[in-house]
Amino acid sequence: MKRNHVFLSLGLVVLALTIAISSCKKDDPDLTLATLVAGTIDLNAATSPDDVPVNPTIVATFSTDIDPATAIAANIALTQDYDGTDIPLNITVSGKTITIKPEVDLSTGAIYLLIFKAGLKSTADKYLTAFERNFTTIGTFAPAGVKAHWKFENDGKDETGAFNSSAAIDITYVDSRNANAGKAAAFNGTTSIIEVPNGDQLVNTQKFTISFWVKAEDSGKGHFVLGLGAFYGIQFEMFGGFDGAKFAIQYELEDGTTTAEDMWFPSNAEYNGNGGFQGWDFAKSIEPDDMIAMLKDKWLHITYTFDGESKRGILYYNGEKMKSFDFNLWPDGDAKRTVKGMKYGGVAPDVVNELAFGFIQSRQGTMWANEPWGGYNFPEANHFKGQLDDIRIYHKVLTPKEIDLMYESEKP
């Protein structure tokens, strides 16, 4: 009898403990999201926001304390929608809150997916039901990581602060291609110029992209739209009849010396598949009248990319590939097969390392100073007449998708 009583007592104790433990587990709250904000912007609203800054601090508050060991990249991700890139994050936990900070600036005007996965749990071992939210960063689309960006909002300031203009001569600022674009810089075709010091730092790179908007007006002559020591750095010009245009750029060879090469794009352009030069691996043929209609009195988005690793240069107009070349296809034994990047090759006083907008080089260079078409002091020289806006330079190669998205987001 006594033994049975002992067993009964022990059983009651075990039962009581089981009920108590069970009751505690049952009372532990589920892990659910309470609020999700980026500053004062609600990321958990019924409508996804489209004004999130490119450097947001995101705070997620939950119903109960978070297990810090599970608040990791495997369970929390921020993904760039247009290309599926995962953004590196700094993630910290304090009680019920998780603070998420991207380690790099986000692209402007881009959609991002913030994903919380089922591996995230509370300190009471309650697992989250996975969910995601999306938001769009402020502004029109442009990839992150810009080296310099001139918006021409009544000045020649570089938005990064590193390449502000040192001089702006006879520039007026007018309404740009649309309201979102704000102002554009207008050039009079005779004296207007904007100069930017240390331009060599912008072209000394293995990977490169330049992107800008231009609207050229007929002035009866060619247009030197921009230049850094002309072909000793980078230049872009439109032909006088608007039937073509070209970049001329200095490239670095394997031995450290430099050489120039043109990205020449006339109407009815040829490539190695229809009788053109063997190094040109693509060219879109455009009838002269259509080329004129594209280049004259109309906003045009121009992008050029160069990849020193693949040795390829690509030209885009309005988000569409127009022409490309590959230095690997140059003739056997040609030194240009060893090109490894871009590099400024100018020497003062012939040319100076100042990037000029509105002319082929800055006023300090003496090259072509006595040529009626090439000397800055000649009003009849090929001074650019028209408007420029949103000039961006990257030390990376933008993808065709990024270039198209930029054009579609910013077009008139």
Q: Which two tokens stand for residue 391?
A: 């000039």
Q: Which two tokens stand for residue 189?
A: 């075709």
The whole-number average pLDDT for the span 229-253 is 98
Q: Which two tokens stand for residue 246?
A: 């070209």
List CB contacts of 411: < 8 A, sequence separation 6 or more: 177, 178, 299, 301, 318
Using the predicted structure, report yes or no on whether residue 24 has a pLDDT greater than 70.
Answer: no
The whole-number average pLDDT for the span 156-166 is 98
pLDDT digits (tens, 9 = 90+) for 56-109: 999 999 999 999 999 999 999 999 999 999 999 999 999 999 999 999 999 999
The whole-number pLDDT of residue 1 equals 46
The dotted CATH code for 33-136 is 2.60.40.1220
The whole-number average pLDDT for the span 204-229 is 98
Give me the residue label for tokens 């693949």. Answer: 310
The whole-number average pLDDT for the span 16-21 is 45
The whole-number pLDDT of residue 75 equals 98
Fold agreement (33-136, 146-410) = no
Using the predicted structure, report yes or no on whether residue 2 has a pLDDT greater than 70.
Answer: no
Please state, in angstroms and rounded to a whole number, the distance separating the CA atoms of residues 11 and 193. Answer: 94
The whole-number pLDDT of residue 27 equals 65
- Banded model confidence at residue 346, pLDDT cuts 50, 70, 90: very high
Q: For residue 174, how far is the Cα from the chain centroid?
A: 25
In angstroms, the Cα distances linking 390 to 195, 318, 331, 387 are 16, 14, 37, 11
| Contact of 76 with 117, CB cutoff 8 Å | yes
Q: Which two tokens stand for residue 286?
A: 């455009």
- Banded model confidence at residue 28, pLDDT cuts 50, 70, 90: confident
Using the predicted structure, report yes or no on whether residue 309 has a pLDDT greater than 70.
Answer: yes
- The share of the chain scoring above pLDDT 90, in percent, equals 93
The whole-number average pLDDT for the span 124-149 is 98
- Banded model confidence at residue 6, pLDDT cuts 50, 70, 90: very low
Using the predicted structure, report yes or no on whether residue 19 has a pLDDT greater than 50.
Answer: no
The whole-number average pLDDT for the span 17-40 is 73
Nearest Cα residue to 397 out of 161, 198, 148, 205: 205
Please state, in angstroms and rounded to a whole number, the distance separating the CA atoms of residues 348 and 399. Answer: 35
The whole-number average pLDDT for the span 203-214 is 98
Pick the CATH number of 146-410 from 3.30.530.20, 2.60.120.200, 3.40.980.10, 2.60.40.10: 2.60.120.200
**Where are the chain's structural domains?**
33-136, 146-410
